[in-house]
Amino acid sequence: MILAGGLMAACSEDPDPNPTPDPVEESRWITVAAAKMGDNPGDGNGGTLIYSLSSAEAKDPTVSIAPFENGFIAPSNRTARLQSSEDGNTIFNISYAGDTGGNYTKYTVAGGQNFTPTGTAVSIAPYVGSAPRWIKLFDGDKTGAAVYVSTEHKFDNKGTPEDTSDDTYLRTEATMGVVTLDLVNSTIVEFQESIVPLSEEEEANGYYISRIDMPTLNAAGDKLYIGARLSKVDPATVETDREGEILGAKTIVLDYPSLLNPTVITSMVGQGNTNGYRSINAFEYQGSVYQANQGDPNGSHILKIGSNNQYDDSYVFNLDDALGVEGAYILAWRPAANGKAVIAYRHDGSEEGVAGAQGFFALADLNAKTAVRLDEIPYEADFYLFQYQGFVVDGTDIYLTQAPVGKNGNIYVIDTQTAEVTKGAQLENVAGSHFIGVF
């Protein structure tokens, strides 16, 4: 019996001739961006530092990083405008303002403060100035697009050069410049300037496009959408008029890749602006482009532009209604491929902190048009998200940073499928500074 038992034990320990390997969790680099204080807490004007860690490290609350102490300085006079490749292995940067403003550089991510310059540098300043607004298009890390707009008041010139009092205001002409950049070979692909008119009635009433940003490719890859901010003057005085009616949200539509034939489309659902601020403001999902608006008196919406390159006004997703707040203002957002999105926002009830209104994060569903605040993330008055730039999407996970101005915080990871929130690596801060996202 003992022998038989020994044989049985020996047999049970025989190795499986075709073992199933343990699953290996794929990891990618997560690059944290930190904005150093310039003159005032939270202004981010002291430059940008970046530091990378693996996604496994980013999810580990026992890991601690101090980008302000030992991060890599991303070249920029003020806050750098950063983008990352889809796999996280490359960081793209265009310096903002100063002597190096408009310089495009890219870096291979190697962990920690190790970012190795790769390829050649190129300046887009001759095309769009030294403080360009740019974004990486979702075309497999091939192309970036930068934009600017300049404006000029137009009059009927009935007066004389010595006495212009008889001149009557006609319109404010907005001239848009768009440049596309080959991110792989660091070369200019195309540049076009165009006059972008509004309707005759809108222009006669003093409205004009004053700022543009966040170019986004449609699903077919043949149109470029550019978000727009409207401003207004009093036609009688040509003084800025901030009391005028807020018009329907507008987007400029261009042929791509030629950058020709601009038209302007208008939403009947949302009002205000669609240019965003520091982060991507529109994303393609299931054949349409979903876009946030800002400055809407009814609270920010997620708007939908259909495959016909027109706003789909049957789609109504109002963040005030979804969250039960008033005056919701989308500061930054990012959807995963499943249509679930993380939204950084403030609202009328936000506390006033050292650098501005307090921010929050919500998990939204583009299909169900619902949103819930992520209460697992701690909030306080100095949690400032106005300059927030980057989220990382890794499958159904979305990574973000949480740290009030001048205080320590953490990386958080949201599983958009289950709504589970994981508290990750610690972020060591310094006085007056803040974190502006992950890439």
pLDDT, residue 138, reads: 96
pLDDT, residue 159, reads: 67
Residue 281 C-alpha from the chain's centroid:
5
With CA atoms as reference, report the closest residue to 214 among 365, 397, 371, 389. 389
Q: For residue 161, what pLDDT band results from cuts at 50, 70 and 90?
A: low
Containing structural domain, residue 67: 26-438
Q: Is residue 223 part of a domain?
A: yes
Q: Is residue 274 part of a domain?
A: yes
Q: How many CB atoms lie within 10 A of CB 187?
A: 10
Q: Each residue of 240-276: pLDDT tens digit?
A: 999 999 999 999 999 999 999 999 999 999 999 999 9
Tell me how far apart the alpha carbons of residues 422 and 397 are, in angstroms, rounded to a whole number. Answer: 10
pLDDT, residue 78, reads: 85
Given CA atoms 35, 280, 222, 364 in this order, what sign does their dihedral have? positive
- Residue 26 predicted with pLDDT over 90: no
- Residue 166 predicted with pLDDT over 90: no
pLDDT, residue 22, reads: 54
Is the overall model pTM greater than 0.95, yes or no? no
The token pair at 22 is 């343990």
Q: For residue 160, what pLDDT band results from cuts at 50, 70 and 90?
A: low
Q: Is residue 12 part of a domain?
A: no
Q: Is residue 3 part of a domain?
A: no
Q: Each residue of 212-249: pLDDT tens digit?
A: 999 999 999 999 999 999 999 999 999 999 999 999 99
Q: Each residue of 173-203: pLDDT tens digit?
A: 999 999 999 999 999 999 999 999 999 999 9
With CA atoms as reference, report the closest residue to 417 among 359, 374, 349, 365. 365
Average pLDDT over residues 393-403: 98
Residue pair 384/359 in contact (Cβ under 8 Å)? The answer is yes
Average pLDDT over residues 76-97: 93
In which residue are the tokens 């150093």 written?
36
Q: Is residue 13 part of a domain?
A: no
Q: Is residue 336 part of a domain?
A: yes
Q: Is residue 4 part of a domain?
A: no
Q: The CATH number of the domain where 338 resides is what?
A: 2.130.10.10
DSSP category for residue 311:
B
Q: Is residue 2 part of a domain?
A: no
Strand order across the beta sheet in which 223-232 lies:
207-217, 223-232, 248-255, 263-271
Tell me how far apart the alpha carbons of residues 362 and 335 are, in angstroms, rounded to a whole number. Answer: 12
pLDDT, residue 127, reads: 95
Q: For residue 12, what pLDDT band results from cuts at 50, 70 and 90?
A: very low
Percent of the chain beyond pLDDT 70? 93
The token pair at 313 is 């006004």
Residue pair 131/96 in contact (Cβ under 8 Å)? The answer is yes
Number of folded domains that form the chain = 1
With CA atoms as reference, report the closest residue to 385 among 267, 288, 279. 279
The answer for residues whose C-beta is within 8 angstroms of residue 305's C-beta and 6 or more apart is: 218, 225, 251, 265, 282, 288, 289, 290, 291, 311, 312
Output phi, psi for 303, to 5 deg. Answer: -100, 160
* Residue-averaged pLDDT of the chain: 93
- Residue 1 predicted with pLDDT over 50: no
E-assigned strands of 137-281?
A: 143-155, 169-182, 187-195, 207-217, 223-232, 248-255, 263-271
